[in-house]
């Protein structure tokens, strides 16, 4: 297998944490988004959508989405399952991962990409260029704050998002909560359940990668 990573971006960090939690060692190549290597002819030949992460499987498939990469790895290496073992567990994990992407990851990305001068003309990832919309940045900050409250509500009486086990959903939510630092947003201290959850995941070895 071959894993295309970017050490500074949140999306490949999700796959990187998943790989570490599974105890796998996979050959890795770094793609520098800062240097726009994702737009190079060499990388576009790997993924024409110009995004990371990418996993090339032993079967020769090219997987370009975290949900696909994690599904493949969890099925291929079933020890220490991170995506559930029962239909109900699998559904809850995927539901909360999707919620974290849409209500946490998306507003952080919208805020950053529509407010950072370095991303002028690059308001969306991929090969096409789009101009910034400042109103999306304003709305994004408000949405991130609502996401923190949503997490805190879900974590009442739970160790992790879907119960007592650390899962793919926790990786997804943690990475986006942590990345919110780039727009100067953090979980408020009064949201005790979410703060405790974040602190415990931050201490995991995979979170340091």
Look up residue 68 and give its two tokens: 């696909």
Architecture of domain 87-208: Up-down Bundle (1.20)
Strand spans (E) along the chain: 2-5, 27-30, 54-56, 62-63
Q: Give the integer Cα–Cα distance in Å for 188 and 171.
A: 20
Residue 209 is predicted with a pLDDT of 92
Residue 107 is predicted with a pLDDT of 98
Q: Where are the domains of the chain?
A: 2-76, 87-208
| CATH superfamily of this structure's domain 2-76 | Glutaredoxin (3.40.30.10)
- Asked whether the domain spanning 87-208 has the same topology as the one spanning 2-76, the reply is no
Contact in structure between 95 and 87 (CB atoms under 8 Å): no
Contact in structure between 102 and 143 (CB atoms under 8 Å): no
As to burial, measured by CB atoms within 10 angstroms (0-12 exposed, 13-18 middle, 19+ buried), residue 49 is middle
Task: Note down pLDDT in tens along the chain; length 209 residues.
Answer: 999 999 999 999 999 999 999 999 999 999 999 999 999 999 999 999 999 999 999 999 999 999 999 999 999 999 999 999 999 999 999 999 999 999 999 999 999 999 999 999 999 999 999 999 999 999 999 999 999 999 999 999 999 999 999 999 999 999 999 999 999 999 999 999 999 999 999 999 999 99
């Amino acid at each position: 297998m071959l894993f295309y990573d970017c050490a500074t971006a949140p999306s490949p960090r999700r796959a990187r944490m998943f790989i570490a939690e599974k105890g796998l060692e996979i050959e890795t190549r770094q793609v520098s988004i800062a240097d726009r290597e994702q737009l190079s002819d060499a990388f576009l030949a790997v993924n024409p959508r110009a995004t990371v992460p990418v996993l090339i499987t032993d079967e020769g498939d090219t997987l370009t989405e975290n949900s696909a990469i994690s599904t493949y790895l969890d099925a291929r290496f079933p020890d220490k399952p991170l995506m559930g073992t029962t239909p109900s567990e699998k559904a809850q994990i995927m539901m909360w991962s999707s919620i974290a992407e849409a209500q946490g990851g998306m507003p952080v990305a919208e805020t950053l990409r529509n407010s950072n001068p370095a991303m002028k003309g690059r308001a969306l990832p991929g090969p096409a260029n789009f101009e910034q919309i400042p109103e999306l940045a304003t709305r994004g900050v408000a949405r991130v704050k609502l996401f923190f409250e949503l997490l805190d509500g879900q974590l009442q009486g739970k160790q992790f998002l879907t119960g007592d086990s650390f899962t793919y959903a926790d990786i997804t939510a943690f990475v986006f909560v942590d990345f919110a630092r780039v727009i100067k947003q953090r979980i408020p201290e009064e949201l005790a359940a979410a703060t405790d959850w974040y602190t415990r995941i931050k201490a995991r070895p995979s979170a340091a990668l």
